[in-house]
């Protein structure tokens, strides 16, 4: 339990310090699950303005063809354990924190992103 609290403190500290890319909408996780990031109804600019982090657009650029280059990965190897203990579903953790550490495991990768776990690489697509 104490190691979980230590991890929580580290995550909260990182979240406060790294504010460069984030979601402006509070319900991006639900929007992502419902296809917001893959939808052709919304423009890239709209998606990035509302849910840049959850859609995997942080550090990405839009090209002339409208395609986006981005990668989506788990930054730590214990994401499966964290997910099993509610990290991806507990409302206490926002999508910014979830995507920062366990984007692939928490299902926050867009269909065109490469989902990876630290130490392995595998291309994924949403169905």
Looking at residue 63, its pLDDT comes to: 39
Residue 121 or residue 53, greater confidence? 53
Decide if 97 is inside a domain: yes
**Is 83 among the domain residues?**
yes
pTM metric for this prediction:
0.38
- Evaluate whether residue 14 is within a structural domain: no
On the question of pLDDT at 54 being above 50, the answer is yes
Give the C-alpha separation, 106 to 93, whole Å: 11
Find where tokens 């190897």 sit. 77
Q: Which helix H or strand E contains 115, and what residues bound it?
A: strand 114-117
Q: How many domains does the chain have?
A: 1
Residue labelled with tokens 């953790």: 93
Question: What's the domain range around 65?
Answer: 23-123
Q: CA 7 to CA 9: how far, in whole Å?
A: 5
| Position 127 pLDDT exceeds 60 | no
Q: Mean pLDDT across the stretch 33-61?
A: 83
């Amino acid at each position: 339990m104490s190691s979980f609290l230590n991890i929580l403190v580290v995550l909260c500290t990182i979240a406060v310090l790294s504010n460069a890319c984030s979601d402006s909408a509070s319900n991006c996780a639900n929007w992502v699950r419902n296809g917001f990031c893959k939808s052709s109804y919304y423009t890239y600019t709209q998606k990035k303005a509302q849910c840049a982090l959850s859609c995997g657009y942080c550090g990405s650029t839009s090209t002339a063809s409208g395609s986006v280059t981005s990668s989506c990965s788990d930054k730590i190897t214990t994401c499966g354990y964290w997910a099993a203990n509610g990290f991806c579903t507990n409302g206490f953790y926002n999508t910014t924190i979830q995507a920062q550490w366990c984007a692939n495991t928490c299902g926050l990768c867009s269909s065109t992103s490469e989902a990876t776990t630290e130490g392995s690489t595998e291309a994924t697509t949403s169905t």
